[in-house]
Amino acid sequence: MSKQSDIEATLLSLVKPGITSKQLQKEIGKAHPKASKKDIRLAAFAAMISIVDKSPDEALQFQDLAITKATETVED
C-alpha cells in the first residue's frame, strides 16, 4: 500500500459526524507523523471521491481538510 493509500484508509476510519478538520489533522498527525501536507491533501481528496456517493456530509469534511492543507502557509 502506498503512503497516500495508508493515509486515505486512516482518514476513512476516523471520519464521523461532527469531527472537525482540525481534529482530523491532529489524528492524522499522530497516525502518520512523517506525512507531508501534500500527502494528506491528496489522500483527503481521494477519500472524498471514494465516499461522496455514500456520505456527502463526510465527503465535505475531507474537502475541508484538503483545502486547509492546500492553503496552509509554511509557518503552519
| Residue with more model confidence, 1 or 58 | 58
Q: What does the mean pLDDT of the chain come to?
A: 86
Stretch 16-26: mean pLDDT = 84
Residue 21 lies in a domain: yes
Residue 33 lies in a domain: yes
Residue 27 lies in a domain: yes
Containing structural domain, residue 25: 3-71
- Percent helix, strand, coil in the chain (nearest 5)? 70, 0, 30
Q: Which of 54, 1, 66 is nearest to 28 (CA)?
A: 66
Position 76 confidence tier, pLDDT thresholds 50, 70, 90: very low
Instruction: Identify the pLDDT of residue 73.
Output: 67
Per residue in 30-65, pLDDT (tens digit) is: 999 999 988 988 998 898 898 888 888 888 888 888
Q: Hey, what's the cell of 43?
A: 489522500
**Total structural domains in the chain?**
1
Residue 65 lies in a domain: yes
Residue 76 lies in a domain: no
In contact, 59 and 52? CB cutoff 8 Å: yes
Written as one letter, the residue type at 60 is: L
